[in-house]
Amino acid sequence: MTTDASTEETNSDEEPFTGYRRSDGRLGVRNRVLVLPTVICSHLVAEEIAERVDCAVATPHDHGCAQLGVDNSQTKRTLLGVAENPNVAGTVVVGLGCEHVQSDTVATALSDRNLPVREVSIQDAGGTEPCIERGVEAAIDLTDQVQAATRTPVSLGDLTVGLVSSDLSDSTVEEAEPLVGAFARSVVEAGGRVVVAGSERFAAHPAATRAATDAATSPDVDDLLERHQNHPARASRVYARALERGFEESIGLCGGLPVREIVSYGEVATHDRGLAVVDAPSRFDEAATGLAAAGVQLILHVTGEGIPTGHPLVPVLKVSGDSETLSALPDDIDIDARSVTSPELTESVLAVANGKRTSPEHHGITEFAITRVGPSM
């Protein structure tokens, strides 16, 4: 049995911008039932459940079992954060029954946060097909939460926007990031929030990072820098390119905004306005999940290379300034940074917030990944 989710597209051209206001006041720009596997062993069942309910999406991943301490905690924290994303109307937690991150524990934690949740387990249900049937029933039950969310007028200042840039090519630094940085400033000036991923860039220039930080956030910045210094394996080509580019060029995405909060991977951002940094790598799939867990409603992804994938829960606008990429992938890039102004970008973002599909949504290409701290067994 399925339920119709087409209403998400019906108001995309209306003014003013409207969003899905949850009962606790949170604002979503999509209206989804999340089917959340707690372990790799249940992700195929979760995907099948989501496939049978139109407004449902699954987040398959390869975590939840045989992970050591910090990673095990981070996986659970991330699953909880993702389920709390305002684009989620309710969550069906799907477990196997013998994993480290237990589905009933996750469901209880979500219930304690006053979030609509149901839980099913393959072993408790008596096998794969019975679990799928129970999961479909649970997802349909949660569609009441989808129907209960009414579209209400809101403004740019009500948005929490995620930003990530997966490279520091010339076109990215000279064309795309200044455009997105100007947009970020307009969001904050309107009273909204911006959350940026790619903390290795900040770690590449510790003195400049400290100088760009609010005084109250300095201890958390020091902790972030220390973590990166103690985990050299997290350094990447983006880190090396950030060193080469210098601080101002490597964080042009931030629009010169001061850092007001450092958000641990999987945690929900708590700053009321301004810029926060989530401790996530620049790799798009892991960064997007960290941003979704932080509570962003949508993501702007700057990509010189033209990475086409989106995220199951959060609409992703692809921004590029690379001529070859824009020529080769015209249907996979939403924003041509060479010819779009900041006000025009704002208009495009509000259209997506209002229901218009992004290129990854149109193509149905999504990926969900959780970053790792260390090895798994």
Give the chain's end-to-end CA distance (angstroms, integer): 39
pLDDT at 150: 83
Highest mean pLDDT among 58-67, 122-131, 366-375: 122-131
Q: What pLDDT sits at residue 335? A: 98
Q: What is the pLDDT of residue 373?
A: 78
Identify the pLDDT of residue 234: 54
Spatial contact of 89 and 142, defined as CB atoms under 8 Å apart? yes
Check residue 154 and give its pLDDT: 84
Q: Using 50, 70 and 90 to split pLDDT, how confident is the model at 228? A: confident
State the CB neighbour count (10 A cutoff) for residue 246.
12
Position 66 scores a pLDDT of 65
Q: Is the pLDDT of residue 235 over 60?
A: no
- Across 60-78, average pLDDT: 84
Mean per-residue pLDDT, 125-131: 97
pLDDT for position 345 = 97
What backbone phi and psi angles, to 5 degrees, belong to 318? -90, 125
pLDDT above 80 for 252: yes
Determine whether 127 is exposed, middle or buried from the number of CB atoms within 10 Å of its CB (0-12, 13-18, 19+).
exposed
Other CB atoms within a 10 A radius of the CB of residue 166 amount to: 22
* Tokens 């992970």 -> residue: 67
Residue scoring higher pLDDT (1 or 159):
159
Kindly tell me if the per-residue pLDDT of 7 is higher than 50. Answer: no
pLDDT in tens, 272-285: 999 999 999 999 99
pLDDT band at 16 (very low <50, low <70, confident <90, very high): low
Positive or negative: CA dihedral 130, 132, 137, 141: positive
Work out the mean pLDDT of the chain and round it to a whole number. 90
Examine the pLDDT at 174 and tell me if it is beyond 90. yes
Instruction: Tell me the C-alpha distance between 58 and 312, whole Å.
Output: 7
Half-sphere exposure for 173 (CA within 13 Å, toward CB): 15
* Bridge-based pairing state of the strands 27-28 and 18-21: antiparallel
Tell me the average pLDDT across 84-113.
94
Residue 201 has pLDDT above 60, yes or no: yes
Which of 111, 220, 217, 181 is closest to 346 using CA atoms? 181
Q: Which residues pair with 317 in a beta bridge?
A: 300
Distance in angstroms (rounded) separating the CA atoms of residues 296 and 160 = 5
Q: What DSSP element (H or E) covers 345?
A: helix 342-353
The string over 15-33, giving b where at least 16 C-beta atoms fall within 10 Å of a residue's C-beta and e elsewhere, is eebbbbbbeeebbbbbbbb
- Exposed, middle or buried: residue 94 (CB in 10 Å: 0-12, 13-18, 19+)? buried
C-alpha–C-alpha distance, residues 103 and 92, integer Å: 10
pLDDT single digits (tens) 332-353:
999 999 999 999 999 999 999 9
Q: How confident is the model at residue 330 (pLDDT cuts 50, 70, 90)?
A: very high
Quick check: bond before 16 cis, omega within 30? yes
Instruction: Note the pLDDT of residue 227.
Output: 82
- 302 pLDDT band, cuts 50/70/90, is very high
pLDDT greater at residue 135 or residue 204: 135
CA triplet 92, 94, 100: central angle to 5 degrees?
Answer: 130
CA atoms within 13 A on the CB side of 366: 20
- Residues facing residue 163 across a β-bridge: 196, 300
The mean per-residue pLDDT over the stretch 234-249 comes to 82
Least confident span in 119-128, 171-180, 214-223? 214-223
Mean pLDDT score, 306-324: 97
Half-sphere exposure at residue 221, Cβ-oriented, CA atoms within 13 angstroms: 24
For residue 326, is pLDDT > 60?
yes
pLDDT reading at 131 higher than 90: yes
CB neighbourhood size of 69 (10 A): 9
Residue-level pLDDT at 1: 40
